[in-house]
Amino acid sequence: MIVKNICCIGAGYVGGPTMAIIAQKNPNLVVNVVDINKERINQWNSSDLSKLPIYEPGLDKVISETRGKNLFFSTDIDKHIDKSEMIFISVNTPTKTYGDGKGMAADLKYVELSARKIAKVAKTDKIVVEKSTLPVKTAAAIKNILDETGSGVRFEILSNPEFLAEGTAMRDLEVPDRVLIGGNESSSGKKAIKALVDIYLSWVPKDNILTTNLWSSELSKLVANAFLAQRISSINSISELCEKTGADVEEVAKAIGMDSRIGNKFLQTSVGFGGSCFQKDILNLVYIARSIGLKKVADYWNQVIIINNHQRKRFAKRILTSLYNTVSGKKIAFLGWAFKKNTNDTRESASIYVADLLLDEMANIDIYDPKVSSDKIYRDLNLLASRTENENKTLLKVSQNAYDACENAHAIAILTEWDEFKTIDWNRIYNNMNKPAFIFDGRNILEKKQVEKIGFIYKGIGKS
């Protein structure tokens, strides 16, 4: 099959940047990104590139080069499904919030809806590519829906998980460590795999494109994220030991990371990992293992989540105990709300959980994040349903810069490692704070000695 038109269902953090790069590298392809959310599509089409729905360094440039040429954003889902030979499904797959598997399994509602839509609309053979992270064997379910509800056209399913990390998405897409494509071993399966390989070959070296069977590909995505998250929970567990013993976790991380068998990446201790993937994918892995009776395997991976939750709680608890066991009525400034720097994404950000615990103690929180809107911050907290919206509004404020957020604060908590926090005028901040002035550095971005010289009491993670 010759692919000339591509459609991607889901214009989110994955669909948007991935399709922008595919379009940029394949000027002969027409790429249509469709979404049910009209507002999101309008933002993607905005002439002001600072209004794109997601913040990702370098994305605006690629969009300006491709949009309107061979990259289009639209809500006309049916039309673009129909005229494309290849359709990517890149809708969100959140953790289920109801029924069997609640709090653990992936909610495949949107994937199923997408498959049903494709089946209903397709009048010619299609290659359907899973981009969303999915539990193992989802391809079989998609295939079933397509075959049973379609009108006799043939569907070939591929799994092509995305390994981009937010904040570095454009680089990750341009020079990926690997591109993984899973498909059926039948002759039509092999042809479909080749069609997708050819698209990536426009810019990815052949040796970096890995083809596997469908299930290996689906499982590899979950396992890659589980391994990455496991490293963070491992170093975070050691951070607690360091705080109690006088060892410095960063010195430990450096010492172990220089062993080439361990390697130095993903050993940065933190207030806990966040993002839309790690927790969800591990919970998925745990759910799958448990549901096929592998209790020991499930418990092993679940421990990564347990340590992450513990790390968030521990950070909030440290603030509380350091401030003489009461934060009620005290102002605590939060620097950062996003789950990491260089993104406006806040899904599962540790900041949400730390704020929740401190608000339970009746603290007043004032937040500054360079890219996250105040609407989003309130929505994140309101979703937890720990307090009414009014209570959140009364206790929590959002500021437009770090100086306002920190004015008259008793303590500062650094939740995201934004570069600009390193170059703040810390003397000015200190002078306008309540004394003693504390800094709880959830990302270890500041030099302990330097801020202590100003007068702050500094508490880094994994540092006594």
Residues taking part in catalysis: 277
Q: Which is nearer to ligand UDX, 10 or 183 (CB)?
A: 10
Name the CA radius of gyration of the chain, rounded. Answer: 24
- Indicate which single residue of 228, 242, 398, 439 sits in contact with ligand UDX (rule: CB under 6 A): 228
What φ, ψ does residue 106 adopt, rounded to 5°?
-80, 140
Residues 375-414: x/- map of binding to ligand UDX (CB under 6 A)?
----------------------------------------
Does 15 help bind ligand UDX (rule: CB under 6 A)? yes
Q: Which stretch binds ligand UDX (CB under 6 A): 89-97, 293-301, 374-382, 405-413?
A: 89-97
**Number of C-beta neighbours around residue 425 at 10 A:** 10
- Indicate which single residue of 74, 110, 240, 404 sits in contact with ligand UDX (rule: CB under 6 A): 110
Region 198-227 residues binding ligand UDX, contact defined as CB under 6 A:
225
Does 176 help bind ligand UDX (rule: CB under 6 A)? no
What secondary structure does DSSP assign to 179-241, as a single string?
EEEEE-SSHHHHHHHHHHHHHHHTTS-GGGEEEEEHHHHHHHHHHHHHHHHHHHHHHHHHHHH
Does 114 help bind ligand UDX (rule: CB under 6 A)? yes
Does 232 help bind ligand UDX (rule: CB under 6 A)? yes
Residues 269-308: x/- map of binding to ligand UDX (CB under 6 A)?
-x--xxxxxx------------------------------
Nearest to 288 by CA among 134, 141, 99, 184: 134
Size of the site for ligand UDX (CB under 6 A): 41
CA distance 127 to 131: 12
Does 156 help bind ligand UDX (rule: CB under 6 A)? no
Please classify residue 81 by burial: count the beta carbons closer than 10 Å to its beta carbon, then call 0-12 exposed, 13-18 middle and 19+ buried. Answer: buried
Q: Which is nearer to ligand UDX, 133 or 364 (CB)?
A: 133
Does 165 help bind ligand UDX (rule: CB under 6 A)? yes
Does 74 help bind ligand UDX (rule: CB under 6 A)? no
Burial 230-247 (b: 16+ CB within 10 A, else e): bbbbebbbbbbebbeeeb
User: What is the 3 state secondary structure string of 83-139?
Assistant: HCCEEEECCCCCECCCCCCCCCCECCHHHHHHHHHHHHHCCCCEEEEECCCCCCCHH
> For binding to ligand UDX (CB under 6 A), which residues are involved?
9-15, 35-37, 40, 90-93, 110, 113-114, 131-133, 162-166, 225, 228, 232, 266-268, 270, 273-278, 339-340
